[in-house]
Amino acid sequence: MIARQLTAEALGSSFLLIAVVGSGIMGERLSGGNAAIALLANSVATGAALAVLISILGPISGAHFNPAVTLFFALRREIAPGLGGLYVVMQLAGAVAGVWAAHAMFAMPVLEVSHKLRDGPAQWWAEAVATFGLLAAIAGAVRFTPQAAAYLVALYITGAYWFTASTSFANPAVTVARALTDSFAGIAPSSVAPFVAAQLAAALVAARVLRWLFSPARTAA
């Protein structure tokens, strides 16, 4: 069972990055220099792929594909710390493999490093907001409409590409992997650590706030 869970996390993370990086490359190539059209292609393709991946792999592993999500559930004691650590390793490995797979599909060098700086307090705050919102979407879906979780999360990510200044990475594994592509979706390695710090800080806050917000209502005696 654990082997299937870990495989699902690696596979889901890999295909998520294939969607993010591949659609970014395709969007940039076809948009004629129009960044808005490229971002639209990137966001829609990512959201669509995410809905499918959560739907088919969620029953196996919970479809975290994201160390911040795994940390959130570990803090809620809904995943054992040891298994959570293995999830993170597989998420990171799968995400990097997904970037390399996307590069190979588009005849790009497999090994790259991004030069796209994404720096400054506004970007870091945007990542905290994006991550908290993602965890709220997940926690709310689990609490009230679990059958719609895949679509709610996918819709949130699609929208957050547009309403956050950072285009909503909201995922440490995605952030690390995107440092390895010098394409539309890239992030310079020097920009990675503050993004990841903001994402993990948001997960710590969300674990406490969302536990209270979505707790079952107490009935009066």
Q: What is the DSSP string of 155-183?
A: HHHHHHHHHSTT-----HHHHHHHTT--S
Q: Residues 21-39: what's their mean pLDDT?
A: 97
CA dist., res. 172 & res. 197, Å (int): 9
Q: Residues 106-132: what's their mean pLDDT?
A: 98
Share of the chain above pLDDT 70, in %: 98
Say yes or no to pLDDT of 219 above 60: no
Say yes or no to pLDDT of 142 above 70: yes
Q: How confident is the model at residue 218 (pLDDT cuts 50, 70, 90)?
A: low
Q: How confident is the model at residue 1 (pLDDT cuts 50, 70, 90)?
A: confident
Q: Residues 109-121: what's their mean pLDDT?
A: 98
CB atoms within 10 A of CB 201: 16
Domain map (residue ranges) of the chain: 2-212
Single out the residue of 18, 44, 47 nearest to residue 31, CA to CA. Answer: 44
CATH class of 2-212: mainly alpha
